[in-house]
Structure 1
């Protein structure tokens, strides 16, 4: 991965967009201390370079009826490249899995799964993860509450 050289203005733009990607160019430019035209040019450059991958709406997990977060640690029978790739490809099919990380240590993957309730997680577990070929074990942990969930990255200024 190539790191892009970001200056102070770029970092201000990124921080501002992470807080409110719906801001107009006039609002954004005023916030970062540029006129609208150069600010828009910088935003386009950040988009073209892949620094800004996309714009999304951040939803309230509880208000959309998915209050349960489950963290599932997955251990595969073998850690060969083809098994890792097969698992990664398989889990892409299920929207309940909102995050997936390949890990070091005792487990191979850490998944964050969101569901409406415990029976929904049980059904998901039985019809998906337990049926995946090559899965040796699954350990589930239920989040009792969320202390911090940052939407943006600490890009600084």
Structure 2
């Protein structure tokens, strides 16, 4: 959600779109795409970073080439629905490097975790040794990804 004080114009959208494609672009390269001067691109980029529109820069790594062959979506139902129990679960998830994303849900499950692991043994250890024994957790249901049809982290801005 954008802050009310952040005004995004067409040049900002072009800049953001270019950075989504390649976050390592220099200001000169951005200037060529956006058709502004490098100094204008630099100022716009800094303003968008300071406003929180640009949250971070990172490399997009290939999990399979690094030995992470299994992606799993894990649905978690909490044992009790209280602020403290939810905090305990959130604290747990924050410590687990294999958890790529965590979403609070409506419906049958309270949370959805996107997890990446090296193999089924690692998945079993996560579920059986970490999640299920945790005091905050009542039920865990997992679905292993067979094939990823689309993996796009870009927002549809341009």
| TM-score range for the pair, normalised by the shorter chain length | over 0.9
Corresponding residue for 2:41? 39
Corresponding residue for 1:67? 69
Q: Deviations over 1:114-138 (max 9, x none)?
A: 1111111112222211121121100
Correspondence 1:43-122 to 2 at 5 A: 43-122=45-124
Moved over 4 A (4+): none
Correspondence 1:4-43 to 2 at 5 A: 4-43=6-45
Give the CA RMSD over aligned residues. Answer: 1.2
- Give how far 1:5 is off: 2.4
Distance 2:28 2:75 in 1: 45
Distance 2:95 2:39 in 1: 41
Greater relative CO (CA pairs within 8 A, separation 6+): 1
The runs of 5 or more residues in structure 2 that have no matched partner are: none
Distance 2:156 2:111 in 1: 25
Correspondence 1:121-140 to 2 at 5 A: 121-140=123-142
Return the TM-score normalized by structure 2.
0.94
- Give how far 1:93 is off: 0.3
For these two proteins, the number of residue pairs brought into alignment is: 156
SS at 1:55 equivalent: coil
SS at 1:113 equivalent: strand
- Give how far 1:151 is off: 2.0
The runs of 5 or more residues in structure 1 that have no matched partner are: none
- Give how far 1:80 is off: 1.6
- Give how far 1:90 is off: 1.1
